[in-house]
Structure 1
Amino acid sequence: MVAFLPLLDGQDETLLSTLSRIGPVIKPISSFDNTESDLSNSYILVDNNAPISHDDLISYLDRGADKVILSLTHASEVIGFLPSDRVLLLLDFANASAVSNKTRSAVSGVLLKSPSLELDFISSVSHFFAGSPVYVLSTSTIPPTSLTISELHSTGAVPVLPTSQLTLGSSSPSQLNIADAFLAPLRSDRPDGLFPTVVSSYTQGGRSLGLVYSSRQSITESVLSGKGVYHSRRHGLWKKGETSRATQDVIRIRLDCDTDSLEFSVVQHGAGFCHLNRPSCFGELSGLAALESTLKSRMNSAPEGSYTKKLFNDPDLLRSKIMEEADELCGALTKEQVAFEAADLLYFTLTRCIAAGVSLVDIERSLDAKARKISRRPGNAKAQWSSRSPSTTDLPLPAPSKLTQPSPPDPNATIRMRKYIAASLSPSERTQLLQRPVLKFGEMIAKVKPIVDYVRTLGDPALLELTAKFDKAQLDTTVTFAPFDPETIQLNDTVRAAIDVAYANIRKFHEAQARADTLVIETMPGVVCSRFARPIARVGLYVPGGTAVLPSTALMLGVPAQVAGCHEIVLATPPRPDGSISPEVMYVAHLVGASAVVKAGGAQAVAALAYGTQTVPKVDKIFGPGNQWVTAAKMLVQNDTYALVAIDMPAGPSEVLVIADQTCNPVYVAADLLSQAEHGVDSQVVLVAVNLPASILLEIESQVDAQARALERVEIIRQSVAKSIIVQVDNINAALAFSNDYAPEHLILHIEKAAAAVVHVQNAGSVFVGPFSPESCGDYASGTNHTLPTNGYARQFSGVNTHSFQKHITSQELTADGLKVLGPVVATLADCEGLQAHANAVRIRLDSL
């Protein structure tokens, strides 16, 4: 939070130095030398409609500018070109109503030029740009008063003050003291009027040094002097270090979001901040900050012959150790090994930095600068670090690092999989081949929880806002209810006919799974037990959007829900930018009898289905695949007793494992591998080659490259294939053993007597038997379901089926004679467990008999 934004219209260096401590400065492009290399802590104002190139804008941002401020004309030219969080919109009072929703979603706030500060109008602008900052620049030559600044903040707006209207001296009608402007929005809820102030170390990555209090007088002195000045509740004004010489240089002062407390980022001098002569009131340094402090001390005072001194004095040794530790980190397998090797590498790396006079702050500045760059390098590895040459790919696995972190594929290189010989792998290397990429669900759940909580708390307003943010669709309503408008399901006749055939086959297969009869078993005379199915009343079906339209997923989820007899079927899918849903998906929703279609994707859609909103019906179980955000949201809501919702299964990237022997058709094998590789860059593709002659294996590899280059999604395939593997085994038993250990989502058998091998398949989502059974048929229209377990969960889970949409209830009925026989058994067991009421419920009946 900033109290105000200065607009540079003068070159008073002392004034600018003071302003740099309290936030960024707006710099008109006419006010600075275009060769200026560092534009950090500044907003660049393009304040006219003169032509400006995209390269110029990128250059400003690459040189560290926080944002560029553009007129409506310029902003319309960069929509989709510059990140929205780096663009502010410049508006005149007269054209404030001319902003389209498209433009609003492409910027992160607005700078409003107004002849007067009309709070009602400014408040309405803030409401239109809800969630984004609104800065207000009065064209008056008289600066606003402190009261006006406070009132602006109450509307959600921040004033912009020309530097010509600011002064380091006393406030006057024509100039406002910088400290007075900074203090204007502050409000204390304490009886003594003081402000809690967190003091953090600028040189130690923001580490907290202590908690103090500030008064308006102390803040004024700190702002103007650049020194740490606080307010002691016992002694009054406290100039830090005045007696102890542990002074502070103030780098930045920030307000918190409620404008009732502050953070001082400082460079601490002397023994430290704490009165106990420690760096922090919260204890000694740790981690990287402690290591940096130790290395600085050792560089100056370590005795000759010590290891650290030797590293400082021997650049060749230090270089060798950095390269050695980097290689060991790449080869680490377990979490503990990675942490251990990374710690070693950081030690030697930081030693190199300290020797060169580089601090952690310098590194952090460089990281921040790189993060803010718009233009990017390709990121390919240099020649000496690139992946192995093709001639060596038939060799046994040389190091785990080549498996876990393959180099980015060269766009001009052959599209090829990595090859390994199973017999040459160690047990740990074989285990690593079976592993999928680590999905950090803890981190993902932490990311999606605020989204889920937002939708749960606000409902439709949150869903509309998040859909505008993530799906770039401005909607008036979140739900379309049945019956659906015929215009939304208009299809090409060929596509409609194809969907109809798929629907019929899928329905036929899933109807055969449904058992209408009740299971009745008399376990002993007079004791009859039964089991019967009932549909889950309300189900939510998530149909992903993103890189492909997926009516097939709508079929695979909707048909079994319809067959099972679910009373309410709610389908959720991301809308297109114009707010519509693809007619193919809408047609399937119509076919399966969906009661509503929710126009939302991602975690927000899952939350809406789980908790319900003002318009989205709450469901009892959520089905469907999705990316990590969707998967994490499903896992989060299923564990929330407030939601009371189940999910179908854990999900991960799509995957296929193909087993091929010398009877295979290389063209078919390559096509099957690619059909899965095109799903996404994280798709998992495995070929298990059973004693294949080199000529056939080479033909498969050649076909993968040739067929991939002819596909529109070749860039996705290029990345997924680069991470895919070929495992060469000696016989079919070894192939099936590897497959059962891998537990693939899809298993394709391109082998002699394929049908006979199915009996040996223990773990797979779905099996495709023989050369004329491509996985595509199961994905679309053969009748089986394509919503299948991934990530090895085929060991424990089945794919979605009719029973997935049902729950089974049991009942029992005992006659008097049956209770006479079974009752004593039950009473004995209840007594054994010490549950007297259970035994009594039986004995009281037996006594009556």
Structure 2
Amino acid sequence: MAPSFLPTFDSSILSSPGRLIPAPLSYLGHAFVTITPSDVDNALRYLQRTVGLHATCFDVSALHLVDDIVSILDSGARKVVVSGSQLRELERVENLDLDRVALSVSPGMKNEMIDAIAGTSVDLYVHRIKDVELVEAWLKEYGTDRPDVYVSFDTPSVENALRIANLSGIPVIPASQCTADPVSEQQNIPIATLLLANATTDRLDGLFTTIVTDERGIALGLVYSSHESVNESLRTGKGVYQSRKRGLWYKGESSGDTQDIVAINLDCDHDCLKFTVKQKGRGFCHLGTPTCFGSFQGLPKLQQTLQKRKSSAPLGSYTARLFKDQQLLKAKIMEEASELCEATTKEDVTFEAADLLYFALTKCVATGVSLEDIERNLDAKSTKVKRRKGDAKGSWAAQMGMPADGKVQQEVGQPHPTSSSIKASEGPGDRIKMRTFVVADGNHTIITKALQRPSQRTSDKIMSIVRPIIDSVRHRGDAALLEYAHKFEKATSLASPVLKAPFPKDLMQLSPETKDAIDVSFENIRKFHAAQMEPKPLSVTTMPGVECARMARPIEKVGLYVPGGTAVLPSTALMLGVPAMVAGCRNIVIASPPRADGSLTPEIVYIAERVGAETIVLAGGAQAVAALAYGTESVSKVDKILGPGNQFVTAAKMLVSNDTSACVSIDMPAGPSEVLVVADETANPAFVAADLLSQAEHGVDSQVVLIGVGLGDGQLRAIEDELHSQASALPRVDIVRQAIDHSVTLVVDGVAEAMDLSNRYAPEHLILQVRDAQDVAELVQNAGSVFVGPWTPESVGDYSAGVNHSLPTYGYARQYSGVNLGSYVKHITSSNLTAEGLRNLGGAVMQLAKVEELEAHRRAVSIRLAELDRLSGT
């Protein structure tokens, strides 16, 4: 069960002897501690001291070794907060439950945050947020069918915490700013307020139904609570409830049967409180019984009896003798264990197990161990990540005729030196470095795993976000577009969701250098795509009198999506707009998200004017796709939507293309940007590194791959040095670092092997920095676009060479082409038969129609042939 909120503690709590989470925060049962590499040993010792007492979450994103993270989980940490690169390594650890992992997400970049919320199955930790409204919007859009989202604040306050808690987010609040005494500490945040933020009740008096249990979860009784009584319980550490007749009820105040609070939680529906307590005195019930439902039964009853016998056993009691004679107790445990092992029938197993449990529990009570302690230990063992074989030891194994070599299964997470033909080498903690794999014998499973792209979110999750947005725009039109622009783009001053042509000149003021660069690129793209036009319709005489033709016609209305997330992309407006203009599309609609002031970048407006766009839609994401697909009061509906975007855009495109009422097609599915570079010893390391980084800077989910043909350690090191040096100097270095974390270098022996791997990967961009690159290009079977030789960086294709940069990603280059002139035209075929042609063809047509039992098809021919016979007099 997720907590109502998480109190955070500094790492000093780990090292102070005996210092556990102080009351009243300990009653929440959850804590959050950030640790550094120097805190690992203290964290492990802390977990040993607090086993089963607290669900501690550790922020371990600063740790260098995944083994340290696994050890912390293995020792009982309830959850760890990790970086993206750490998560990818943990995903490969056997037996690790990823429900115990949360991904740390920086709130600095909106699109990355939106992608992260819907892009992973693990929980999320968004730290030190300043824009609470934006996080509210994300949580509202995502709904409650999502992983847990933990949120810490740049400026914690009760208002901010409640805004997140009310949307089922989990506020993370410094313990020093929490209080159970809001009257005397008014500057701090009341614990009870956060605990009950989502509590609901259907009672007219506003009281909360409250179940009281012992530490084993056995129900002691049913009571009621109020905000005031919960706050008083937290303040005093005692069971305090709300009597419907007498007001605050301090349990046991008159009888002496008091309660010490262990934990206070809400149930899954937030309509029932659960108080876990240590009951003192006779019991919970006013009748003197342990519970309001009668006395304990089974093991709890036995424990209660043994505890009484230990303190005051009747004279001659057998249990008292067992407490005094430890050798007798040891012998009885061994005897009963042996008899249980020999039992075969259900009745015998039950009888012997009961005897063994009696003597085992006597041993526990004699040493001060309770059933609660045992169950906490069992729960802790269930969290173990590292597994052993569990073979019987020594003489016990020998007695059963089993091998007793004492060997223990290797712990998970320790690499086996001969487990595969690919060896991975890890770089220093803060060095920007790709993982390197040496391909030795072509182990396909391991190679495939190394080339696995960053995972995309499941369709159910993203569709749950996208579908309501599309429905809203479809039914509410411009009003919905404006609302989403205000919410996601912060363009609160935007009054209209469109710009109509002709576009005002003051919206496209550019420097002469920028204008010239756009004009050069425009012309080169125009030339290349104009050359793709079919000079005349295709016409073929398939047999005498039968002429078949095919003619190209432009798609009349096209919608072009130009992203505007972490980087403004006017180049995409060129790549999509120029071919549409060349093809002769009658209506061109461009959609691109506005800036916070409601404006667009002047480059996009200038390009829209040059390609003859009728409208620019000031919208991004799924809402832009919906406007293009269905139209609004101001946006013309289009016939085809083209353009790249994040996973929300891609999902929206696929959704509307499958809606027959939209009657709209799309260019292709799309994923994050990617590049694959094939380099041999002739490649310049600086060129290779620059090409890899040119894609890595697109986004944290971009992937870059280097296939080194026969490269030695020195050549690989030269590329690594260039990669780190160049990346460190980039303004988007934080994005680059995360992209490089899941990117790889593969070292192979020859060009043929390199191209086989490349064709299997099917990259969006393929760069060939090898000897005789033009000849090697002949081996390409799957790629979006190929860049040949040392003087052809991928950047020229992105901007100005003339080829299109809107390309298939995520392996879709196996099935799809990049955007080209053909993306904007459709082909219409025609048939033209003479009387001779129908006579020549009619027999075959009628026979096939007869086989398919389509008589009207057959008669459409036979009637005509009969008429020809009549006219000819035959």
Which TM bucket (shorter chain)? Answer: 0.5 to 0.7
2:824 maps to 1:834 = no
* Of 113, 130, 148, the match for 1:81: 130
2:453 maps to 1:436 = yes
Considering only aligned residues, what root-mean-square deviation do their CA atoms show, in Å? 4.6
Residue 386 of structure 2: SS of its match in structure 1? helix
* Of 476, 480, 490, the match for 2:509: 490
* Of 632, 647, 665, the match for 2:684: 665
**Corresponding residue for residue 705 of structure 2:** 686
Residues 108, 500 of structure 1: alpha-carbon distance in 2 compared, 3 angstrom cutoff: farther
2:472 maps to 1:454 = yes
**Corresponding residue for residue 416 of structure 1:** 433
Distance in 1, Cα, partners of 2:205 & 2:780: 74
Distance in 2, Cα, partners of 1:201 & 1:85: 37
Residue 712 of structure 1: SS of its match in structure 2? coil
Residues 107, 569 of structure 1: alpha-carbon distance in 2 compared, 3 angstrom cutoff: farther
Q: CA deviation at 1:561?
A: 0.5
Q: CA deviation at 1:433?
A: 2.4
Percent identity over paired residues? 50
2:528 maps to 1:466 = no
Question: Could you tell me whether the CA contact under 8 Å between 1:670 and 1:704 is conserved in 2?
Answer: yes
* 1:564-603 mapped onto 2 (5 Å cutoff): 564-603=583-622
Q: CA deviation at 1:428?
A: 1.1
Distance in 1, Cα, partners of 2:589 & 2:136: 38
* 1:128-147 mapped onto 2 (5 Å cutoff): none
Code of the aligned partner of 2:557: R
Q: CA deviation at 1:694?
A: 1.9
Distance in 2, Cα, partners of 1:622 & 1:484: 22
Instruction: Give the gaps of 5 or more residues in structure 2.
Output: 6-22, 29-58, 60-127, 138-154, 161-165, 168-192, 194-201, 214-240, 246-263, 276-290, 294-352, 361-370, 390-410, 869-874
**Corresponding residue for residue 830 of structure 2:** 811
Question: Could you tell me whether the CA contact under 8 Å between 1:603 and 1:629 is conserved in 2?
Answer: yes
**Corresponding residue for residue 636 of structure 2:** 617
Distance in 2, Cα, partners of 1:478 & 1:326: 62
Code of the aligned partner of 1:472: K
Q: CA deviation at 1:322?
A: 1.0
Distance in 2, Cα, partners of 1:302 & 1:635: 65
Distance in 1, Cα, partners of 2:135 & 2:520: 49
Q: CA deviation at 1:83?
A: 1.1
Question: Could you tell me whether the CA contact under 8 Å between 2:557 and 2:640 is conserved in 1?
Answer: yes
Residue 440 of structure 2: SS of its match in structure 1? helix
**TM-score where L is the length of structure 2:** 0.56
Question: Could you tell me whether the CA contact under 8 Å between 1:179 and 1:224 is conserved in 2?
Answer: no
Code of the aligned partner of 1:451: I
Q: CA deviation at 1:437?
A: 2.3
2:843 maps to 1:794 = no
Distance in 2, Cα, partners of 1:87 & 1:785: 38
Question: Could you tell me whether the CA contact under 8 Å between 2:386 and 2:412 is conserved in 1?
Answer: no
**Corresponding residue for residue 872 of structure 2:** none
Q: CA deviation at 1:270?
A: 9.4
Code of the aligned partner of 1:427: H
Q: CA deviation at 1:422?
A: 1.3
Give aligned pairs, total.
545
Deviations for 1:291-333, whole angstroms, at most 9, x for unmatched residues? xxxxxxxxx9897599xx9995896996597122699xxxxxx
Instruction: Give the gaps of 5 or more residues in structure 1.
Output: 1-22, 25-34, 41-61, 63-78, 89-105, 112-130, 133-162, 164-177, 184-198, 204-222, 228-249, 255-261, 272-299, 328-383
* Of 537, 549, 570, the match for 1:551: 570
Deviations for 1:159-217, whole angstroms, at most 9, x for unmatched residues? xxxx9xxxxxxxxxxxxxx976879xxxxxxxxxxxxxxx99999xxxxxxxxxxxxxx
Question: Could you tell me whether the CA contact under 8 Å between 1:823 and 1:843 is conserved in 2?
Answer: yes
Deviations for 1:60-97, whole angstroms, at most 9, x for unmatched residues? xx9xxxxxxxxxxxxxxxx9725127999xxxxxxxxx
**Corresponding residue for residue 257 of structure 2:** none
Question: Could you tell me whether the CA contact under 8 Å between 1:556 and 1:786 is conserved in 2?
Answer: yes
Distance in 2, Cα, partners of 1:734 & 1:699: 23
Distance in 1, Cα, partners of 2:806 & 2:832: 38
Question: Could you tell me whether the CA contact under 8 Å between 1:658 and 1:686 is conserved in 2?
Answer: yes
Q: CA deviation at 1:692?
A: 1.1
Deviations for 1:223-250, whole angstroms, at most 9, x for unmatched residues? 98689xxxxxxxxxxxxxxxxxxxxxx9
Residue 514 of structure 1: SS of its match in structure 2? coil
Distance in 1, Cα, partners of 2:434 & 2:267: 54
Residues 769, 301 of structure 1: alpha-carbon distance in 2 compared, 3 angstrom cutoff: farther
Distance in 2, Cα, partners of 1:744 & 1:581: 32
Code of the aligned partner of 1:448: V
**Corresponding residue for residue 783 of structure 2:** 764
Residues 700, 844 of structure 1: alpha-carbon distance in 2 compared, 3 angstrom cutoff: same
Q: CA deviation at 1:423?
A: 1.6
Residue 384 of structure 2: SS of its match in structure 1? helix
**Corresponding residue for residue 785 of structure 1:** 804
Code of the aligned partner of 1:323: V
Distance in 1, Cα, partners of 2:158 & 2:654: 34
Residues 809, 202 of structure 1: alpha-carbon distance in 2 compared, 3 angstrom cutoff: farther
Residues 266, 823 of structure 1: alpha-carbon distance in 2 compared, 3 angstrom cutoff: farther
**Corresponding residue for residue 541 of structure 1:** 560
Distance in 2, Cα, partners of 1:202 & 1:666: 68
**Corresponding residue for residue 257 of structure 1:** none
Residues 87, 319 of structure 1: alpha-carbon distance in 2 compared, 3 angstrom cutoff: closer
**Corresponding residue for residue 323 of structure 1:** 385
**Corresponding residue for residue 350 of structure 1:** none
Distance in 1, Cα, partners of 2:355 & 2:583: 76
Residues 523, 736 of structure 1: alpha-carbon distance in 2 compared, 3 angstrom cutoff: same
Computing the radius of gyration from Cα coordinates, the structure with the larger value is 2
Q: CA deviation at 1:442?
A: 2.9
**Corresponding residue for residue 706 of structure 1:** 725
Question: Could you tell me whether the CA contact under 8 Å between 2:759 and 2:783 is conserved in 1?
Answer: yes
Deviations for 1:439-486, whole angstroms, at most 9, x for unmatched residues? 223321222111111111111111111111111112110000100000
Residues 525, 319 of structure 1: alpha-carbon distance in 2 compared, 3 angstrom cutoff: same
Q: CA deviation at 1:616?
A: 1.1
Residue 663 of structure 1: SS of its match in structure 2? coil
Code of the aligned partner of 1:443: K
Residue 323 of structure 1: SS of its match in structure 2? coil
Distance in 2, Cα, partners of 1:761 & 1:832: 44
Code of the aligned partner of 2:856: A
